Amino acid sequence: MSVEPFDAVDVIRAKRDGGVVPEPALRWMVDAYTRGYVSDAQMASFAMAVFQRGMQRDEIRVLTDAMIASGERMSFASLGKKTVDKHSTGGVGDKITLPLAPLVAVFGVAVPQLSGRGLGHTGGTLDKLESIPGWRAALSNEEMFAQMQSDVGAVICAAGSGLAPADKKLYALRDVTGTVEAIPLIASSIMSKKIAEGTDALVLDVKFGSGAFMQDIDRARELARTMVALGTDSGVATTALLTDMNVPLGLAIGNANEVRESVEVLAGGGPADVRELTIALAREMLALAGQPDADVEKALDDGRAMDSWKAMIRAQDGDPDAPLPTARETHIVTAPNDGVVTRMEALPFGIAAWRLGAGRARAEDPVIFEAGIDLHAKPGDRVVAGQPLFTLSAADEARFPRALEALEGSWAIGDAATGSATGFERGPIVRERITA
């Protein structure tokens, strides 16, 4: 039996006392945990020490690199075209990957979008796409490469189990030990998978506000800067946009209804905020791929993005023209008085959609594709008494009471006589651009 070169207790103590863990010891800790030598209890103690004491930039780089080294590294060098990916930290109504990937692929850039499923109030991209009849998320590496090499160019699929297995193990532990919010652990978790994926460039959509992982803009900025530094240090051209998630994005929150809204955007329409963010991220991705002057708005408006979407869905056995699931039961909430919508907090709407069945409480739970919420008004809009504000959809009306409970106090209508619609206009969705 080989002798281990370090002791987990020493590594934990070093971080607990605010010290810097030496690189060899940190690499060993990740490897020994992946092998099962370091226990869950010990790694939980280490994660809590990181949560409380933080990590220096070089420590976060080593942690990320050690997590990458725990599994396979993909390479798209043989594709013969630029690859660029996008990652969002997640929010309520965030369906941007759906219109974005095919839009960027219009310009001859390969988009390897390895996505996940939802847990809690933030929806998963794969759950949304699985509401399309026939569409499949599980692709082999060979199928993924073939799809990117072809005229399709874009692929949205599930990440294979071989990428950063240390992260998968640590992520599950953080989820049950109150250490999810530690910025070094979030940054290394996201970036270990993205760097291992092997893309040339990466754009990060880091959200802040009521419906985001990071509610405070300063914390979101710190996370963005940390991740941009990690990507840059690893040779991946990386930028980040800080985006507002205080109000749900778009008008649809759920799965099938978010696909419908994405298709509206691909047809040149859709809600202004979804279109605005799709265009901003597409420009950012194409600039990193060497096409800073690409006319992305024209590609949305002239049908090329829609053609690209249909090709991408068909390549994964989906039928882009098939009807999407619709709910058996609906419940409409109307405006109690005339006025201007002054508030619509994202998080309660995300929780309500989750309670309707659009999300899952446990990883193994199924999602109900037709469940969710459709908004008919947003902050700044004038409404009259009796006008629909939003519609809840579910497979079973028994789900409505708890969803409505989540929404209590989450929205407000100001007096139309004293309030003006312009007084409640939101600022721009993209607040800052962060580069190396």
Q: 168 an active-site residue? A: no
One DSSP character per residue, 352-394 reads: HHIIIIIS-SSTT----TT-EEEES--TT-EE-TT-EEEEEEE
Burial of 54-88, coded b for 16+ CB within 10 Å and e otherwise, reads ebeeebbbbbbbbbbbbbeebebeeeeebbbbbbb
Question: Which residue out of 115, 131, 189, 210 is catalytically annotated?
Answer: 189
How many Å apart are CA 268 and CA 157, to the nearest integer?
25
Q: 167 an active-site residue? A: yes
Residue 205 C-beta-side C-alpha neighbours within 13 Å: 27
How many Å apart are CA 57 and CA 229, to the nearest integer?
8
Residues 6+ apart with CB under 8 A from 90: 122, 207, 212, 213
Q: 35 an active-site residue? A: no
Question: Which residue out of 94, 167, 233, 381 is catalytically annotated?
Answer: 167
Q: 88 an active-site residue? A: no
Question: Which residue out of 174, 194, 207, 331 is catalytically annotated?
Answer: 174
Pairing of strands 339-344, 411-414: antiparallel
Question: Which residue out of 193, 221, 283, 399 is catalytically annotated?
Answer: 193
Q: 174 an active-site residue? A: yes
Question: Which residue out of 87, 117, 378, 399 is catalytically annotated?
Answer: 87
Nearest Cα residue to 94 out of 191, 174, 213: 213
Residue numbers annotated as active site = 87, 167, 174, 189, 193
